Every structure is written in structure tokens, then in C-alpha cells.
Amino acid sequence: VESRCYSISSPPTRPGAFTITVKRVAGGVVSNWLHDNLTPGASVRAQGPRGTFLRPEAPARKYLFLSGGSGITPVMSMLREIADKAGDADVVFLHAGRTPQDFVFRDELALLAGRIKGLRLFLLPETAGAEPSWPGLTGRISAELMALAVPDMAERVVMCCGPAPFMAAARSIAASLGVPQERYLEESFDAAVLEPPVTEVTPATTTFSVRFAKQNRTIEVGAEQTVLSCAKKAGIRIPSSCANGICGTCKSRLVSGSVDMKHGGGIRQREIDAGMFLPCCSRPLSDLVIER
């Protein structure tokens, strides 16, 4: 059984609909299966939303929605909510992608820009690609571009989602243009960024024996290392996604031993009571036996 985590693209104003937006990834087991096999009437099993959810302390008067690539998904959910409520809005929506052909929701965004008073849409491709008549700018976000496109950026709540390098650039640009830290929010779901670094075990470091019963493999894991990071380094097969205790994909049964687990909502207390744990955010406190 394969599990993956996806952001929700439908708004809370549509309780009868629940949508995700899945990008086909070369070699992606789940994304390709969904594109090739999922048809109307099919059923899938899903868990509820996990993670830490933040919002401004009070509704803002002005927003900047800033997204890159498939990071448009959660931002699109918010824009659809604004459209459904038909209220006043002062939103600049800047979306970046490789080419105009890669813009997700391009037609819907154009439709919403015509419907929502106070919405200003700015699409930024790196290159014009197969659309040489592209009428706008091309390139990547920069302080100079943002100062030109959103001159009042410092007055807005910035909500950002995209690949890790895109968000790092956006965060730096926002700070340089005067956006207070408390008014800059982002959705972060990148295992490469979130997974704790693997530290090298030295003779002075406390280590524990961790045995994976079904795979008949035993490895050493340092007291300051996560079980998942060491298992992956050793080639142990454990399904995982977020590597930060949020999604629950790596959930495993702990046969014996104890761990220090600091999860982000990816496991319920009743599952912990039943002997389950998340290797991605657990450090051993003793020798372990895991049902994997």
C-alpha cells in the first residue's frame, strides 16, 4: 500500500467537495497511478489533515498570495474561498512557473480575476516556452521585481507556498522590502528541508541497536539521530513522505524498546497507546525492535 500527502485545493466554503491537485511526476508511483487510473466513482482511503496550521491573528485588509509551481494548491483554496464569499478583497496573486504552459489553474485564475473585485493577477514564467507571444515579464522573483509589481508589499500579509528555493527567496525578499516577520506565512512541506540532519556517530556518542524484524536487519542509531534517517542511510525500506512527524506515512509498530517522539500531529494518542510510533521524528532511548 502506497501513501502520499497532498495539499487541499478546495475551499472550506464547499463542504460537499474535497479536491487535491496532483502533479504527474516522472517515475512517481502514486501521482502516475492517480493520473492513469483514477476515474469517477472510484474510492480512495484518506486520513484527515495533519500538521500545524497558522493564520494572522486578525483578518488582514490586504494580502499577497505568492506561489511557485505546484505550491499554488493551498493558495488556490484561499482564493476560491474569497470568490465564494463574494466579499471585498485586496489581493495580489503572483504565481511563478517554468513556462506559461505550466501554470496550474490558468483558465480559472483568469475567470476569477474578472469576477473578484480587488484581485490583481500576476503570472511570472521563467521563459515564454512555446508561447512566444507571452505579453508579460519572464524571469524569477527578485526584490526589484516585487517592488515594481507589489509596491505596497510591506503593508500586506504575505502567504507563500512553493519549492524550498522559491520560498527561501520569497522570505528573503519579503524581509528586505519591509514585511514584518509576523505577517509572512508559508506552507512548508519539503522533506529535504524539514528532516533533521544526520549526525555522524562517534565513539563518544551513545548508540542503540535497532532491529527491523520483517527485513531481518539491524542497524546502530545514535541517541541524537532519528530512526528513519539512519534506516534510509542503511537502505532499510520504510515508506515516508514529510520526514517531520506530520503525515504519518512512516507509522510503524514498536515491538520493544522506547523512543523520544516529537511529532507534528501525524499520529493519534490511541495509536501510540497501541504501540505505534513515527520513525521520522523518534530518537531511541533504548535498543529497539520494529515490526518492519
Tens place of pLDDT for every residue, the chain, 292 residues? 677 788 889 999 998 888 988 888 888 888 899 999 999 999 888 877 766 666 656 667 899 999 999 899 999 999 999 999 987 789 999 999 999 999 999 999 999 999 898 999 999 999 999 999 999 999 999 999 999 999 999 999 999 999 888 999 999 999 999 999 989 998 865 444 334 444 444 444 689 999 999 999 999 999 999 999 999 999 998 988 778 888 888 999 999 999 999 998 889 899 999 999 999 999 999 999 999 9
Taking only the tens place, the pLDDT of each residue in 185-209 is 988 654 443 344 444 444 446 899 9
CA atoms within 13 Å, Cβ hemisphere of 45: 3
Taking only the tens place, the pLDDT of each residue in 86-136 is 877 899 999 999 999 999 999 999 999 998 989 999 999 999 999 999 999
Say if strands 282-284 and 259-261 run parallel, antiparallel, or are unpaired: antiparallel
Beta bridge partners of 123: 95
Give dist(CA 253, CA 244) in Å, integer. Answer: 18
For 25, 148, 152, 212, 259, the CA distances from 254, given in Å and listed in that order, are 33, 55, 53, 10, 9
For 2, 44, 190, 198, the CA distances from 194, given in Å and listed in that order, are 21, 27, 6, 12
Q: Would you call 222 helix, strand, or coil by DSSP?
A: strand
For 133, 139, 152, 216, the CA distances from 65, given in Å and listed in that order, are 26, 18, 13, 49
Give dist(CA 61, CA 47) in Å, integer. Answer: 34
Which of these, 121, 134, 10, lies nearest to 67 by C-alpha position? 121
Is 0.75 surpassed by the pTM of this model?
Answer: no
Residue whose grid cell is 506530520: 246
CB 220 within 8 A of CB 208: yes
Q: Would you call 51 helix, strand, or coil by DSSP?
A: coil
CB 109 within 8 A of CB 121: yes
